[in-house]
């Protein structure tokens, strides 16, 4: 029992390390040194919630100290710093690839290119704007804090589902080497459900999360015949921004 608990805690720690730049440990390539990435996927939503604690604290501080908009801006900026803009990079690459390539191969080549194009810039501006405006619309600091933490968790569950349900779009890359089972998907989905149950209009949020996840998965399949690490990051950004739109609309009603 103790060994199993220790393994779970290690997996949570490594999930945080993979999804952020926090000094909690990294994956080793030595055989048997640390659990493989696939073993940590169940903890992605939980890791997202834990990573959100610091940005949420900054949001709470500046919501009353300054303005809600400044609080939203600082929280989102800190999120980017803590995560190394991992998902934002995937969003930009995906937008450039899907928007600029004429063939599957061309799209994948563009996504692999480290340079950013006009589609990527526009996607970042729009999605980042929604992620700032969403928490800024919260009626009070406490509500915004809960939403930041819960959406950070829920928006990372679709990445786990896409890893399970979609084929690899390219033979290389980190996403191509990950194996995942149904129990992992189920646990990630359960964590996302628990997070959304803490927010208003839970069933509407669930419906939107499912719609964006399935819709983007279908788009990814049509564009590049599967998924890559970039599309996983893009799914997180799109899902989070969509959920913010729903919450901000509810708060404004």
Residues 6+ apart with CB under 8 A from 126: 241
pLDDT in tens, 81-91: 999 999 999 99
Q: Given pLDDT bands bounded at 50, 70 and 90, which one contains residue 179?
A: confident
Is the pLDDT at 180 greater than 60? The verdict is yes
pLDDT in tens, 206-222: 999 999 999 999 999 99
Higher local confidence (pLDDT), 221 or 36: 221
Query: Average pLDDT of the chain?
Result: 93
Q: Given pLDDT bands bounded at 50, 70 and 90, which one contains residue 173?
A: low
Cα 251 from Cα 125, distance rounded (Å)? 23
Average pLDDT over residues 246-253: 97
Would you kindly state where each structural domain of the chain is located, as residue ranges?
A: 41-252
Is the pLDDT at 50 greater than 60? The verdict is yes
pLDDT in tens, 62-113: 999 999 999 999 999 999 999 999 999 999 999 999 999 999 999 999 999 9
Q: Is 160 buried (19+), middle (13-18) or exposed (0-12) by CB count in 10 A?
A: buried
Q: Given pLDDT bands bounded at 50, 70 and 90, which one contains residue 39?
A: confident
Cα 15 from Cα 30, distance rounded (Å)? 18
Closest to 87 measured CA to CA, from 239, 243, 246, 248: 239
Q: pTM to 2 decimals?
A: 0.94
Cα dihedral 210→248→192→232 (10° resolution): 60
What pLDDT, on a 0 to 100 scale, did the predictor assign at position 29? 47
pLDDT in tens, 127-144: 999 999 999 999 999 999
């Amino acid at each position: 029992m103790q060994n199993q608990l220790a393994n779970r805690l290690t997996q949570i720690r490594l999930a945080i390390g993979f999804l952020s730049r926090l000094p909690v440990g990294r994956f080793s390539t030595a055989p048997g040194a640390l659990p493989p990435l696939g073993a940590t996927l169940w903890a992605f939503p939980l890791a997202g919630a834990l990573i959100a604690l610091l940005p949420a604290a900054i949001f709470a501080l500046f919501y009353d100290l300054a303005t809600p908009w400044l609080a939203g801006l600082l929280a989102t900026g800190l999120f980017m710093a803590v995560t190394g803009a991992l998902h934002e990079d995937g969003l930009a690459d995906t937008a450039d690839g899907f928007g600029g390539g004429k063939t599957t191969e061309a799209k994948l080549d563009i996504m692999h290119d480290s340079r950013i194009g006009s589609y990527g810039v526009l996607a970042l501006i729009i999605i980042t704007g929604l992620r700032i405006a969403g928490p800024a619309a919260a009626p009070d600091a406490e509500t915004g804090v809960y939403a930041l933490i819960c959406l950070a968790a829920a928006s990372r569950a679709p990445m786990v589902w896409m890893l399970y349900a979609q084929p690899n779009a390219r033979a290389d890359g980190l996403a191509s080497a990950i194996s995942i089972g149904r129990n992992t998907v189920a646990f990630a989905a359960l964590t996302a459900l628990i997070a959304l149950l803490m927010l208003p209009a839970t069933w509407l949020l669930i419906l939107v999360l499912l719609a964006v996840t399935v819709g983007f998965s279908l788009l990814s399949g049509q564009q590049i015949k599967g998924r890559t690490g970039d599309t996983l990051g893009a799914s997180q950004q799109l899902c989070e921004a969509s959920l913010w739109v729903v919450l901000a609309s509810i708060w404004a009603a």
